[in-house]
Structure 1
């Protein structure tokens, strides 16, 4: 397979809805071939694939739970077979549970949230580095870890466990960026604020953004496409001297 003449390939975990889906569609418009992973919603994933293909790009959706090492390994093996390259990893997959105070959190909930939101990106990054790093005869690449403004704000009375998992992801981002900086790989983080996505329903409040939009200096919630543009800037050569840093897309919050 002639990988030199192929379009660049981006992998977006959790790419069937929200920010992930918006990033997949915008990436296709910018000339990327696109792989998304998803866990549950196959019709939504298929819709993203169809939209990418309609723009003339190659697309693939793979069912893979990023917290499961075997499923992650199979995801990357499938990418090797189908595309033979990987240029950008967007660690976007994350889970949120119902709003709760800390003393009411179950151990099972904490473990699941950390498994998906913190360990999952580490597992995916391991696989990506083995394909991108100069040490492994790779061509270099870019990793964008989707954190959250909650890592700075703490999300009291709602999602302290989610916020803590994103804090772990940010520390991982800093360390990995320094570790692979001379191997052709840039690693950055992105902090969305209050964005209009389906994720809020998982927390038990679909209308959450509208309830708290007056706490945002810009006075409104964000759209997934606004986050996607920032992700793809960090992934791109326009950010060629940017690594180990975080870009807030929060409307000033």
Structure 2
């Protein structure tokens, strides 16, 4: 357990809550899953190709004091959100917290090299499945009659438009931020709160895949705190937004976690 993990508070009202985290086999999703486990939640650890890593995450959730099940599926496939939700409901009998974390840049491409295939891939991976999860999860939460928390994952790129061939990804995350505001308004009187976490430059497999060392150095130079973030530094925000006791009057917010790189 890291020092950050040891310092994180436990949220007693999350004990026993059913939580689904998409893209939870690595990075932010994996860190969040373990954080929910320390608060005694029941966590559906979603993965696509990384089943072995997802099982390791599930083991850490259990070791932390929570329950965990694995839920597989490629969120870019149109029938995947329904299947993932069905598996979660089968395991836990309900859904209290949905974390729409799955996403990715696809690849860095300059404007002159855009293609319809790239555009579709970016939307499928970052927008369409989030809309589908909202469309299908919200009625389930409403039918349960006990409210709930939905936490979307945006990005600092949604604020500044991205760079280095990442504009389509940044625009997709901009959709997530804007939709979070709208969904929160629509659901405000139902007991379902909708918020977003907007990470800055966090050391995850995302940047291992899409960013060069030179790009990482350049980004770090723009951060007032003078360093990159780590996934555990986002966990407290996820738990806070999930906890009705801690954030029951908070909805429609996009919470920036970026070391001061962007200050709205």
Please state which band the TM-score falls in when normalised by the shorter chain: over 0.9
- 1:15-48 deviation digits (Å, cap 9, x = unpaired): 0000000000011001211012111111100100
Give the secondary structure class of the aligned counterpart of 1:216.
Answer: coil
Q: CA deviation at 1:105?
A: 2.3
- 1:200-222 deviation digits (Å, cap 9, x = unpaired): 13215267434421111111111
Q: Distance in 1 between matches of 2:213 and 2:99?
A: 25
TM-score (norm 1): 0.92
Aligned match of 1:228 in 235, 257, 263? 235
Q: Distance in 1 between matches of 2:195 and 2:137?
A: 14
Give the secondary structure class of the aligned counterpart of 2:188.
Answer: helix
Q: Which runs of 4+ in 1 moved over 4 A?
A: none
Aligned match of 1:174 in 161, 175, 181? 181
Give the secondary structure class of the aligned counterpart of 1:215.
Answer: coil
**Which deviates more from structure 2 when the two are superposed, residues 212-221 or residues 141-150?**
212-221
| Aligned: 1:73 with 2:75 | no
Q: Distance in 2 between matches of 1:206 and 1:19?
A: 20
| Aligned: 1:61 with 2:70 | yes
Superposition pairs for residues 120-139 of structure 1, below 5 Å? 120-133=129-142, 136-139=143-146
Q: Hey, what does 1:214 align to over in structure 2?
A: 221
Aligned match of 2:201 in 191, 194, 209? 194
RMSD of aligned C-alpha atoms? 1.5
Give the secondary structure class of the aligned counterpart of 1:69.
Answer: coil
Q: Distance in 2 between matches of 1:104 and 1:52?
A: 42
Q: Distance in 2 between matches of 1:54 and 1:183?
A: 34
Give the secondary structure class of the aligned counterpart of 1:66.
Answer: coil
Unaligned runs of 5+ in 1: 1-5
Q: Hey, what does 1:3 align to over in structure 2?
A: none
Unaligned runs of 5+ in 2: 1-14
Give the secondary structure class of the aligned counterpart of 2:185.
Answer: helix
Q: Hey, what does 1:244 align to over in structure 2?
A: 252
Superposition pairs for residues 86-105 of structure 1, below 5 Å? 86-105=95-114
Q: Hey, what does 2:36 align to over in structure 1?
A: 27
Q: Distance in 2 between matches of 1:21 and 1:163?
A: 22
Q: Is the 8 A contact 2:39 2:66 kept in 1?
A: no
Q: Is the 8 A contact 2:36 2:66 kept in 1?
A: no
Q: Distance in 2 between matches of 1:47 and 1:104?
A: 38
TM-score (norm 2): 0.89
- 1:53-85 deviation digits (Å, cap 9, x = unpaired): 222321011111223231211111111211101
Q: Is the 8 A contact 1:154 1:164 kept in 2?
A: yes
Going from structure 1 to structure 2, the CA distance change for 1:137 and 1:8 (only over 3 Å counts) comes to: closer
Going from structure 1 to structure 2, the CA distance change for 1:229 and 1:160 (only over 3 Å counts) comes to: same
Q: Distance in 2 between matches of 1:105 and 1:195?
A: 26
Q: Is the 8 A contact 1:67 1:115 kept in 2?
A: yes
Q: Distance in 1 between matches of 2:214 and 2:29?
A: 20
Give the secondary structure class of the aligned counterpart of 2:32.
Answer: helix
Q: Distance in 1 between matches of 2:70 and 2:212?
A: 28
- 1:75-132 deviation digits (Å, cap 9, x = unpaired): 1111121110111001000021332222222221111111121111111122221221
